[in-house]
A and B are shown apart, each in its own frame.
Chain A
Amino acid sequence: GQNIDQPTEMTATEGAIVQINCTYQTSGFNGLFWYQQHAGEAPTFLSYNVLDGLEEKGRFSSFLSRSKGYSYLLLKELQMKDSASYLCAVRDRDYKLSFGAGTTVTVRA
């Protein structure tokens, strides 16, 4: 089966930077996604990486290294509304998405 690991919880202060790491072992690779999910709601799309390197989108950036099976999501200038669960998901060779268990980020004032 697919194996996607990310930390369970992280806490940071408003205005700070947080980096959420994700490592994966999957049968094939067709892209890596990051999603934000607030409690009781559906996930919302944040970023997509299929080539190595950094993708920047405003306060959020995502990095991918395919050779290392590694990605991170960088959240800058943290705001209280960023408190949520962040899901790393990898699309395998069959184009199916497998999700990590999610990292709950708590932003404190």
Chain B
Amino acid sequence: GAVVSQHPSWVICKSGTSVKIECRSLDFQATTMFWYRQFPKQSLMLMATSNEGSKATYEQGVEKDKFLINHASLTLSTLTVTSAHPEDSSFYICSTERGNTEAFFGQGTRLTVV
């Protein structure tokens, strides 16, 4: 069964609005959650790393005020895309690890900003 549950799978929003994406770890505690973005026919690009109870670490070029990450509990991390614009349309995926040898991904969220 799924180890990481991500919702929603699809979302269409109007330009200027905000969208929240949730990622839950099932049956285990995820101290660290990774957030990726993937544009069509491109690779996954790490946006930020969230750690439970502390501020997220953002990769270079990712605006922390635009992509708000909250990791308030060991089973839930959220990514909020604020004031979304069409160029933010992408596939967003969360991931966590169990031990050092396996990484598990959420189902992904296809965001379309119109």
Query: Which residues on A are within 8 Å of B, measured CB to CB?
Result: 30-31, 33, 35, 40-45, 48, 50, 87, 89, 96-102
Could you list 25 A-B pairs, sorted by A, with CB under 8 Å? A33-B103, A35-B105, A40-B110, A41-B107, A42-B6, A42-B93, A42-B107, A42-B108, A43-B44, A43-B93, A45-B103, A48-B102, A87-B43, A89-B44, A96-B34, A96-B46, A96-B49, A97-B46, A97-B95, A97-B103, A98-B46, A99-B43, A99-B45, A101-B41, A101-B42
Complex CA distance for A21 and B41, rounded to whole angstroms: 18
Q: Which 4 A-B pairs have the closest CB atoms?
A: A42-B105, A99-B43, A42-B108, A101-B43
Complex CA distance for A45 and B100, rounded to whole angstroms: 13
Q: Which residues of A contact B41 (CB under 8 A)?
A: 101
Complex CA distance for A89 and B103, rounded to whole angstroms: 11
Please tell me if the beta carbons of B103 and A41 are within 8 angstroms of each other in the complex.
Answer: no
Q: Which residues of A contact B6 (CB under 8 A)?
A: 42
Q: Which residues of A contact B104 (CB under 8 A)?
A: 45
Residue of chain A at shortest CB distance from B101: A48
Q: Other than the known A48-B102, A89-B44, A97-B95, what 12 A-B pairs have Cβ atoms closer than 8 Å?
A: A40-B91, A40-B108, A41-B107, A42-B6, A42-B106, A42-B108, A43-B105, A50-B101, A99-B43, A99-B45, A101-B42, A102-B43
Q: Which residues of A contact B105 (CB under 8 A)?
A: 35, 42-44
- CB of B103, distance to nearest CB on chain A (Å): 6
Residue of chain A at shortest CB distance from B60: A1
Please tell me if the beta carbons of A31 and B43 are within 8 angstroms of each other in the complex.
Answer: no
Residue of chain A at shortest CB distance from B100: A31
- CB of B48, distance to nearest CB on chain A (Å): 11
Q: Which residues of B contact A43 (CB under 8 A)?
A: 44, 93, 105
Within 8 A of A (CB), among B38-82: 41-46, 49
Q: Which residues of B contact A100 (CB under 8 A)?
A: 43
Cβ-defined partner of A97 (8 Å) among B34, B101, B107: B34
Please tell me if the beta carbons of A87 and B44 are within 8 angstroms of each other in the complex.
Answer: yes
Complex CA distance for A33 and B4, rounded to whole angstroms: 18
